Amino acid sequence: MPDDGFGPDSKVREVLTRLGDRGRDLLKRHGYDVGEGFADGLSQYQTLEHAARTDRLRDLNRLLKELNSPQ
């Protein structure tokens, strides 16, 4: 994984900021729907690992591979 790649400690907000619609689509495919905004202010700072542990996100390893692969 490149130094600037995504990992389990990456925040949902980072995915959206760095990848925009592509990040939003990948998160949604893995069960995390951010909708038009965040339901609460803290969810945007949730790590991908925490989202997976709390069942808001499915198949973290596959998501990370997709996030780190070139478009």
Q: What is the pLDDT of residues 7-20, one digit of tens each?
A: 999 999 999 999 99
The residue ranking higher by pLDDT, 43 or 33, is 33
Residue 2, pLDDT score: 46
For residue 43, the one-letter residue type is S
What pTM was computed for the model?
0.84
For residue 44, count CB atoms less than 10 angstroms from its CB and return exposed for 0-12, middle for 13-18, buried for 19 or more: middle
The overall average pLDDT reported for the chain is 87
Give dist(CA 9, CA 48) in Å, integer: 6
Query: Has residue 30 got a pLDDT over 90?
Result: yes
Residue 33, pLDDT score: 83
Over its C-alpha atoms, the chain yields an Rg (Å, rounded) of 11
The string over 7-21, giving b where at least 16 C-beta atoms fall within 10 Å of a residue's C-beta and e elsewhere, is eeebbbebbbeebee
